[in-house]
Amino acid sequence: MDAWPVCDPYGSAGPDHLDGDYLLPPPNPAARVGAPLSPADRRRLDLHAALTIRGIAPRPGDQFAVNAISSLGDAVTAAVLRWISSDD
- Assess if residue 39 is contained within a domain: yes
- Assess if residue 51 is contained within a domain: yes
3 Ramachandran zone, left/alpha/beta (phi>0; psi -120 to 50): beta
- Assess if residue 38 is contained within a domain: yes
Domain count, the chain: 1
Residue 26 CA to residue 57 CA, distance in Å, equals: 27
Torsion 53-59-64-69 (CA) sign: negative
Report CA Rg, the chain.
Answer: 20
Is the pTM higher than 0.75? The answer reads: no
- Assess if residue 27 is contained within a domain: no
| pLDDT digit string (tens) for the chain, length 88 residues | 555 555 555 555 555 555 667 788 888 888 887 788 899 999 999 999 999 999 988 888 889 999 999 999 999 999 999 999 887 6
Neighbours of 44 (CB within 10 A): 19
- Assess if residue 5 is contained within a domain: no
DSSP 8-state assignment for residue 53: H
- Assess if residue 78 is contained within a domain: yes
